Structure 1
Amino acid sequence: MSSYDPAPKTSPVPESVAADPREPAPAPARVGTIVWGLVVLALAALIIISQLGIVALNGTYVLIGLMIGAGAALVIGGLLSARGRDNSSTTGKS
């Protein structure tokens, strides 16, 4: 047995700095970013399918469908985001 007693393990950052309650939480992904990312992925998939010759696509109809879908997703996502947002005032002023 050894009489060696190692120092207690501590964090290199002081507790007062590590747990700053004033630091805001990371922001969630925006609805617009997600929707336009999905539009780009859908367009890329449709281009690949068209080039493979699996299906013959009309470009006008594809773009109209993508824009209708993206518009609907943006409106619905915005409504859901507004509904889930905390509307209480923190300062007491209107």
Structure 2
Amino acid sequence: MSSYDPADTPETPAGPSTDGGPRARVGTVVWGLIVLALAALIIISRLGLVALNGTYVLIGLMIGAGAALVVGGLLSARGRDKDTTTGKS
């Protein structure tokens, strides 16, 4: 006969884990922001608050997305370099 003993189960922390679990990818975040920005711009233009030129909007979004991807990639690479350092020369 087996009995359940709560002392035998390992305790798990209640807060978020800091063991380097899955992180959001930079590209996913940037594309999500692009979709949100486009949706906001479409709503604003349909309400008649601002007249938008589609070409300028797309150019601005692509410049912003490119800059965000480059900066996010550099920050990600910098963080990855810190994690993998062993301290040996």
Normalising by the smaller structure, the TM-score range is 0.7 to 0.9
Residue deviations 1:55-78, cap 9 Å, x none?
000000000000000000000000
Cα distance 1:68–1:80, how it changes in 2: closer, same or farther (>3 A)? Answer: same
TM-score by length of 1: 0.69
> Matched residue of 2:21: which SS?
coil
Hey, what's the Cα distance between the residues in 2 that align with 1:25 and 1:14?
Answer: 23
> Matched residue of 2:6: which SS?
coil
The one-letter code of the counterpart of 1:87 is T
Hey, what's the Cα distance between the residues in 2 that align with 1:81 and 1:26?
Answer: 15
Count of paired positions? 77
Say whether 1:10 aligns with 2:6. yes
1:48 to 34, 43, 46: 43
C-alpha RMSD over aligned residues: 2.8
Say whether 1:88 aligns with 2:85. yes
Higher helix share: 2
2:54 to 54, 59, 63: 59
Deviation at 1:26, TM superposition (A): 2.3
Hey, what's the Cα distance between the residues in 2 that align with 1:51 and 1:88?
Answer: 52
TM-score by length of 2: 0.73
Say whether 1:36 aligns with 2:26. no
Residue deviations 1:17-36, cap 9 Å, x none?
x77xxxx7421111110010
Which structure has the bigger radius of gyration? 1
2:70 to 71, 75, 84: 75
Hey, what's the Cα distance between the residues in 2 that align with 1:65 and 1:88?
Answer: 38
Cα distance 1:80–1:37, how it changes in 2: closer, same or farther (>3 A)? Answer: same
